């Protein structure tokens, strides 16, 4: 007899051995909240969207932005901000559409695929924000070099001392340093959260792919 056939023989007999759950217990269960991976991804994604939105709103009222109002650079800042909001709306809508598609009645491969796609959209949103942050930093630097009186004064002074390159290097260096810390922090956060959450899912997905190719 093949190994699995022995198990099959007993598998059938096994029906009566489980502790039966009553109807009352099932009623209770269906009113409890799910703790599935999808729910966790959804919660984390909402927190992410909120985080980035709050961050951009906070920056809008920040000192730097007030300073920028005085420079009259709306022709640069307004389109840039519009791109930010359009990006937020687009990604949120896409994320929601994908999330709605997740259904436990699909086949296993399709279900994992949909979950990973949903996750990917949020991932793209994070990249969008990182690139947006880098572009913001470049624009802010450019505007400050051209409009900030203190910086202009410093550059003029440095021209007399032949140290203009040093001033530019310090400013650009500090910006790169802050951006690097910011990106490293976000990267670490994602590795940690999603590494733990999606490890098993990726493993099963790879296993299915391996069977089919």
Partner 1 sequence: MSASLEQSFVKQLQENQNIIHKICRLYTSGDDEHKDLFQEITIQLWKAFPKFRGDSKFSTWAYRVALNTAITLYRKSKRSIATTEYDTTKHFFKAEDYNYEEEEQLKLLYKAVYQLNDIEKALVFMYLEDKNYEEIAETLGISEVNARVKMNRIKGKLKKILNP
Give dist(CA 41, CA 198) in Å, integer: 9
Of the candidate spans 14-22, 132-140, 166-174, 185-193, the one that interacts with partner 1 by CB under 8 A turns out to be 14-22
Instruction: Decide: is 37 part of the binding site for partner 1 (CB under 8 A).
Output: yes
Of the candidate spans 73-81, 104-112, 128-136, 160-168, the one that interacts with partner 1 by CB under 8 A turns out to be 104-112
- Give burial (CB, 10 Å; 0-12/13-18/19+) of 123: middle
Q: From the CB of 116, what's the least distance to partner 1, in Å?
A: 10
Of the candidate spans 20-28, 47-55, 163-171, 176-184, the one that interacts with partner 1 by CB under 8 A turns out to be 20-28
Give dist(CA 65, CA 74) in Å, integer: 11
- Give burial (CB, 10 Å; 0-12/13-18/19+) of 71: middle
Report the residue from 106, 153, 156, 159 that binds partner 1 according to the rule CB under 8 A: 106
Give dist(CA 155, CA 142) in Å, integer: 13
Q: From the CB of 49, what's the least distance to partner 1, in Å?
A: 22
Which C-beta is closer to partner 1: that of 115 or that of 133? 115
Number of residues that bind partner 1 (CB under 8 A): 49
Instruction: Decide: is 111 part of the binding site for partner 1 (CB under 8 A).
Output: yes
Q: Note the residue count of the chain.
A: 213
Please list every residue from 174 through 213 that binds partner 1, using CB under 8 A. Answer: 197, 200-201, 203-204, 207-208, 211-212
- Give burial (CB, 10 Å; 0-12/13-18/19+) of 199: exposed
Decide if 171 contacts 141 (C-beta within 8 A).
yes
Instruction: Decide: is 8 part of the binding site for partner 1 (CB under 8 A).
Output: yes
Decide if 179 contacts 133 (C-beta within 8 A).
yes
Name the residues that contact partner 1, by CB under 8 A: 2-4, 6-8, 10-11, 13-15, 17-18, 20-23, 26-27, 29-30, 32-38, 40, 103-112, 115, 197, 200-201, 203-204, 207-208, 211-212
């Amino acid at each position: 007899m093949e190994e699995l056939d022995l198990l099959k023989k007993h598998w059938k007999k096994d029906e009566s051995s489980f502790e039966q759950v009553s109807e009352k217990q099932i009623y209770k269960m269906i009113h409890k909240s799910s703790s599935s991976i999808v729910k966790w991804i959804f919660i984390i994604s909402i927190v992410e969207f909120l985080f980035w939105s709050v961050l951009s709103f906070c920056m809008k009222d920040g000192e730097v932005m007030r300073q920028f109002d005085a420079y009259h650079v709306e022709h640069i800042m307004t389109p840039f901000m519009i791109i930010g909001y359009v990006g937020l709306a687009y990604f949120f809508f896409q994320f929601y559409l994908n999330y709605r598609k997740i259904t436990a009645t699909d086949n296993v491969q399709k279900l994992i695929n949909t979950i990973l796609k949903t996750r990917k959209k949020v991932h793209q949103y994070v990249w969008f924000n990182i690139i947006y942050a880098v572009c913001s930093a470049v624009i802010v630097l450019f505007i400050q070099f051209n409009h900030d009186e203190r910086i202009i004064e410093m550059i003029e002074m440095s021209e007399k001392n032949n140290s203009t390159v040093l001033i530019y290097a310090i400013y650009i260096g500090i910006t790169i340093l802050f951006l690097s810390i910011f990106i490293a922090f976000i990267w670490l956060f994602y590795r940690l959260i999603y590494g733990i959450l999606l490890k098993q899912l990726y493993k099963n997905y790879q296993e299915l792919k391996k069977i089919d190719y």
